[in-house]
Amino acid sequence: MKTLIHFLVVSVILIISVNVSSALNGTYTVGTGGNFPTIASAITAARNSPMTGPVIFNIKPGIYNEENVIENISGLNSVNSLTLQSESGNAADVVINGNTFVFYVRVPDIIIRNLTIGSSSTSSIQMIASIQILNNIFTNDSKLIISIGQFPPSYVIINGNTNVEGIVLNPWADYWGRFVKITNNTVTGGIGATLYDSILIENNTASVLSIFISNHIDVFKNKISGFFSISGWNSNVYNNFFYGTIPSDSSYIAISGNVIYNTFCYSSVNNVYILNNNAVFLNNLFINKSGRLAVNLPFSQPQLSDYNNFYNSGNPGLIKWHGNEFNDVSSYFNATGNDEHSNSHPVTFVSPTDLHLAGSSLGDQQLAGIPTPLVTDDIDGQPRDPYHPYKGADEYTDFPLPVELASFTSTVTGNNVNLKWTTSSEINNSGFDIEKSLLENNVSEDWVKIGSQSGNGTTNNQSSYEFIDKNLSTGKYNYRLKQIDFNGNFRYHNLAGEIVIGIPNKFSLSQNYPNPFNPKTVINYELPAAGNVSIKIFDISGKEISTLIDHSMEAGIHSAEFDGSDLSSGVYFYTLIFDGNNIDRKRMVLLK
């Protein structure tokens, strides 16, 4: 990383030169037989002649051994731009050797496209309105770093370049309002950016990723083979592969935002740090092949973390929180309330450098996550399964998880419960056991098998099932399905909420469903007698957000719907007060 920082002053870009007195506007050719014989002569013309419109220099095939400087271009206004590109559109046709610089150019857009940058090529980018570096090839001997510093452009687009040694954007002060897109590049070294207002890092391959103190950071579908650090506000980290061996300092994430469907797989004593409590962690794989910590939360914990997989080959010290080490996920959940549905399970990848799922992990139900509308595809752009997506960055569409349960609902008629469920597809499905548990003092008693239904083996068609549990006594019940494969593997699907038969015998407030929700959720509650009911919503600071109900109600089972369309993602609380004495409070999570 120090080597990368060393190059902060240097910057990438090729350039041009020209020698003409007439105004420039339109498309010109550069090279033997063109409007300008060399890049230097073209750039001289741009410097000495006023530009009255956008100018494009199409460079003919050849090798150009020149040193060029773009600066002090005259006649520029809000619509003019300067483009340097290969005439054929093939980057291999134009090779530019020599030092090139771009600085102090007040032009709305400079575009460098479809060129090959050869030996001894370095550039400095300063004081331009915007820069686009698109689909260029950097040869092995160019040792070139794209570096933008001191006075950065208003926006920067670096896309589709190959064999770049490094990309560093590090202004000397915070430049909010500057926008950066670094996408689809192959970088032999690292990518770094600091103090920007909006940063998109997507579909790059690099050995280091360091995004520091920035706002609106989106890190999507990258493959990072070493150290990473991401810190900022209003950020999202989706569908990335992070792997290799972390050096002396552990990698970390310190953002407010969402960290969803990532695969972290390292072989070192160091681990992934989570340093911010305003983030949501869902459907990630945290693997440490060295047997040490899978994740470390030294100062706080995420506002929501669930459906993750933490694994360190079954060794002690799986998760560390506030200095306390936990050997399993259930102990961590009991201490923090997070990761209720997370687990610790081995994962097989194609190779140490290719974290696509392979072998026994294909179809492994232990790797099933929870669907979220925030992310609908994987690192390769494959669509996520809408019901049972895989955890981690890879969704294996050719080997879906065995049974995709599309719905599981219930209706109560008198003292009978009618259960209905549908599957969108099935693989090797022997059938379902229907199980029931009586709730005593809000604690579920032993589960009892009350029936079974045969499955449809393997099918891509939707299948529907139904079961009626008759003549129930007054009380509250939970139901679940035990889906069983022909090879004996099984998985449970729980019915959301509990079933109540008869008038409730005591005051009760249920957990909202769904939870997390976006934007609506339902709150169920039970009243053993008529009385005044108040339901209010509060944010995490205790400020009242909304009053859902505040009036007298009859005894029975009731529901209230809460709409969080106007609220931001976060943790909220709802409180039920019955007859002034009975009070209950629960937490819910809005995830947009």
Collect all residues with Cβ–Cβ distance below 8 Å to 587 and sequence separation of at least 6.
Answer: 571, 572, 573
Q: What pLDDT, on a 0 to 100 scale, did the predictor assign at position 176?
A: 59
Q: How far is Cα 525 from Cα 149, in angstroms, rounded to an integer?
A: 59
Selected residue with higher pLDDT from 151 and 492: 492
DSSP state of 380: T
Q: How far is Cα 442 from Cα 448, in angstroms, rounded to an integer?
A: 17
Is the pLDDT at 253 greater than 80? The verdict is yes
Is the pLDDT at 28 greater than 50? The verdict is yes
pLDDT single digits (tens) 309-343: 999 999 999 999 988 999 999 999 999 989 988 99
Q: Is the peptide bond before 516 cis (omega within 30 degrees of 0)?
A: yes
Q: Tell the residue number behind the tokens 């009255």, with chain if given.
A: 52
pLDDT single digits (tens) 427-449: 778 999 999 998 876 666 678 99
Q: How far is Cα 110 from Cα 355, in angstroms, rounded to an integer?
A: 37
Reading the block at residue 96, the tokens are: 């530019």
Is the pLDDT at 140 greater than 70? The verdict is no
Assess whether the region 404-500 and the region 503-590 belong to the same CATH fold.
yes
Average predicted confidence (pLDDT) for the chain? 83
Query: Looking at 228-369, which runs of residues are DSSP E strands?
Result: 228-238, 241-244, 252-260, 263-266, 272-274, 279-282, 285-288, 295-297, 304-306, 309-311, 319-321, 324-326, 349-351, 354-357
Q: What pLDDT, on a 0 to 100 scale, did the predictor assign at position 57?
A: 96
Kindly give the pairing relationship between strand 582-590 and strand 570-578. antiparallel
Is the pLDDT at 128 greater than 80? The verdict is no
Name the nearest CA neighbour of 216 among 238, 198, 191. Answer: 198
User: Residue 332: phi, psi to the nearest 5?
Assistant: -65, -40
Is the pLDDT at 557 greater than 80? The verdict is no
Reading the block at residue 62, the tokens are: 């050849």
Architecture (CATH level 2) of domain 503-590: Sandwich (2.60)
| 275-279: average pLDDT | 76
Q: Alpha carbon of 529 to those of 338, 514, 577, 579: distances in Å? A: 35, 27, 13, 10
Q: What pLDDT, on a 0 to 100 scale, did the predictor assign at position 18?
A: 35
Q: Where are the domains of the chain?
A: 1-169+180-188, 216-398, 404-500, 503-590
Name the nearest CA neighbour of 52 among 77, 85, 84, 87. Answer: 77
pLDDT single digits (tens) 472-509: 766 789 999 998 888 777 778 888 888 888 777 788 89
Q: How far is Cα 235 from Cα 374, in angstroms, rounded to an integer?
A: 13
Collect all residues with Cβ–Cβ distance below 8 Å to 349 and sequence separation of at least 6.
Answer: 265, 355, 356, 357, 358, 361
Kindly give the pairing relationship between strand 205-206 and strand 217-220. unpaired
Residue 272 near residue 253, CB atoms below 8 Å: yes
Q: Alpha carbon of 295 to those of 39, 82, 312: distances in Å? A: 53, 48, 10
Q: How far is Cα 387 from Cα 424, in angstroms, rounded to an integer?
A: 9
Name the nearest CA neighbour of 557 among 448, 410, 407, 408. Answer: 410
Selected residue with higher pLDDT from 17 and 375: 375
| 198-216: average pLDDT | 92
Query: Looking at 383-415, which runs of residues are DSSP E strands?
Result: 403-413
Collect all residues with Cβ–Cβ distance below 8 Å to 475 and sequence separation of at least 6.
Answer: 438, 439, 500, 501, 502
Q: What pLDDT, on a 0 to 100 scale, did the predictor assign at position 16?
A: 32
Selected residue with higher pLDDT from 323 and 16: 323
Beta bridge partners of 283: none
Lowest pLDDT segment from 11-25, 42-56, 73-87: 11-25
Architecture (CATH level 2) of domain 404-500: Sandwich (2.60)
| 243-250: average pLDDT | 72
pTM of the model: 0.67
User: What SS3 string covers 152-185?
Assistant: CCCEEEEECCECECEEEEEECCCEEEEEEEEECC
Q: How many helices (H) and strands (E) does the chain have?
A: 3, 51
User: What SS3 string covers 528-568?
Assistant: CCCEEEEEEEEECCCCEEEEEEEEEECCEEEEEEEECCCCC
Reported as a pLDDT band with limits 50, 70 and 90, residue 105 is: low
* CA-angle at 328, arms to 325 and 331, nearest 5°: 75
- Return the SS3 of 17: coil
